[in-house]
Amino acid sequence: MTIREDILKDVKRVVIKVGSSVISNRQKGRSSLECGLSRDWVWHYAREIKNIRDRGYDVVLVSSGAIMAGRERLQFSQINLTIPEKQACAAIGQSFLMRAYEKAFEKKGLMVAQILLSHDDLGNRRRYLNARHTIEALLEKGVVPIINENDSVTVEEIKIGDNDSLSATVACLMDAQLLIILSDVDGLYDRDPSRKNKTETKKVQLISHVSKVDEDIERIAGKSKNRLTVGGMVTKVWAAKKTMSFGIPTLVVNGLDEKVIENIFAGKEVGTLFWSGKEKIRDRKHWITHTLKPAGTLTIDEGARKALVEKGKSLLPAGLIKVKGNFEFGNALTLLDESGKEVGRGLVNYNSRDLERIKGMRTPAVRSLMQESFYEEVIHRDDLVVF
Ligand code: GLU
């Protein structure tokens, strides 16, 4: 079995990032930003995503293209725009972009939803979890979430900056098992193909697998300046560095190859794979355990302890005996068993006031009491580390 086939075995949820250059009306000699949105390519990706959805995968799409589409509509001809001009383009282009996706997916019988994020949303635990719950609810309903940065209102300090980085964050947020970055180049080359010196005899080689993003890799990536995209290759490599530390494999492939998604899911060797092996898979849990400071404690009964420790279940209100501390939604908490022994840590879906009200209650009663603030789990097992 090849590494890629091995990775595919574990994939249930995939984040696909579509760059502006792969959904633009490309014209020779012009930057994609000047070319406007290509409905054909939007339709093409809707088809591809429908195909992989039919094979049972959850798909979250991160799509650029708002500024490009808005530029076309506002008929800006100059390449360099001021920030307010770019934001105006994003405001116009985002709805235009979504309309194109909506039409294309509708034809395939799929509904789409727009989610616009900024760094502020993802840096704050509460909003981070909110975003996650929303996307999770959409996936459960069979909807394709389409995410972009909230460019039109985002100022520099809270900008994520580029959609490569956004896609990596979304892959970690949603616990995806694969991130695919669709670019207009085949992957990472050992030297910049566009700068190939005529006298050089050694052929430029595509790197098929990067197992560690070190200075050498960053240097190679930093050299390839792709004018058409916001970040070029270096932001893809940085994105991959992040996903790798969370144990998520990342593929950087050429989205202009119409067969590329099909080939990926057939286990074929396309693009550059960034993957350092499964052992990092627990990093998120590592972060919950070691980085976050617990803001309170929950004492759970024996039934809940067994469900958590022996059956890998989530913590429900019914198993709660005691709530200690003054904490908010999204905080890290310590879990104690009835004898006061620490059994785990996790991120909580309720604040301490609400937990005080619902502790020991069964799910239907909690649902009717909490109404729109209802979550089935006090701590979801994905946000839980059991010792
Ligand atoms: N959010 C930007 C847009 O939709 C693109 C940023 C990027 O491609 O990195 O136009």
Q: Which backbone phi and psi does 185 adopt, to 5 degrees?
A: -125, 165
Residue 191 and residue 204 in contact, taking contact as beta carbons nearer than 8 Å: yes
**From the CA of 166, how far away is ligand 1's center (Å)?**
10
Determine whether the shortest distance from the Cβ of 162 to ligand 1 is under 6 A.
yes
The atom number, within ligand 1, closest to the CA of 70 reads 10
Q: Name every residue whose Cβ is closer than 8 Å to that of residue 138 and which is 6 or more positions away in sequence.
A: 113, 144, 145
**From the CA of 90, how far away is ligand 1's center (Å)?**
9
DSSP string for 313-324: PPB-GGGEEEEE
Q: Which domains does the chain have, with CATH numbers?
A: 3-281 (3.40.1160.10), 294-386 (2.30.130.10)
Residue 301 and residue 319 in contact, taking contact as beta carbons nearer than 8 Å: yes
Q: What's the whole-model pTM score?
A: 0.76
Q: Would you state the pLDDT for residue 52?
A: 96
Determine whether the shortest distance from the Cβ of 91 to ligand 1 is under 6 A.
no
Closest residue CA from atom 5 of ligand 1: 64
> Would you give the DSSP letter of residue 198?
T
Tokens of 1: 């079995």
Residue 386 and residue 309 in contact, taking contact as beta carbons nearer than 8 Å: yes
Tokens 């590494």 sit on residue? 3
* Selection from 146, 148, 287, 178 nearest residue 243 by Cα: 178
Residue 268 and residue 325 in contact, taking contact as beta carbons nearer than 8 Å: no
Instruction: Give the integer Cα–Cα distance in Å for 53 and 32.
Output: 29
Residue 229 and residue 182 in contact, taking contact as beta carbons nearer than 8 Å: no
Walking along the chain (387 residues) 10 residues at a time, the average pLDDT comes out as 92 96 82 81 97 96 95 84 90 96 97 92 75 95 97 79 90 93 92 63 86 86 55 86 87 96 96 82 66 88 95 95 93 94 93 96 93 88 88
Q: Which backbone phi and psi does 146 adopt, to 5 degrees?
A: -120, 120
Here the contacts of 78-86 (C-beta below 8 Å, separation 24 or greater) are 79/31, 79/33, 79/34, 83/156, 86/151
Q: Would you state the pLDDT for residue 120?
A: 74
Tokens of 375: 């979550």
* Selection from 245, 265, 261, 242 nearest residue 253 by Cα: 261
Tokens of 247: 């144990």
* Selection from 98, 101, 76 nearest residue 87 by Cα: 76
Determine whether the shortest distance from the Cβ of 67 to ligand 1 is under 6 A.
yes
Instruction: Give the integer Cα–Cα distance in Å for 239 and 274.
Output: 10
Alpha-helix runs per DSSP H in the chain: 3-9, 32-35, 39-54, 66-74, 83-107, 119-123, 125-140, 163-173, 215-223, 232-245, 260-265, 283-286, 302-309, 352-358, 363-370
**From the CA of 385, how far away is ligand 1's center (Å)?**
35
Determine whether the shortest distance from the Cβ of 66 to ligand 1 is under 6 A.
yes
* Selection from 189, 132, 159 nearest residue 67 by Cα: 159
Q: Would you state the pLDDT for residue 356?
A: 96
Q: Would you state the pLDDT for residue 221?
A: 87
The atom number, within ligand 1, closest to the CA of 64 reads 4
Q: At what angle do helices 39-54 and 83-107 cross, to 10 degrees?
A: 50
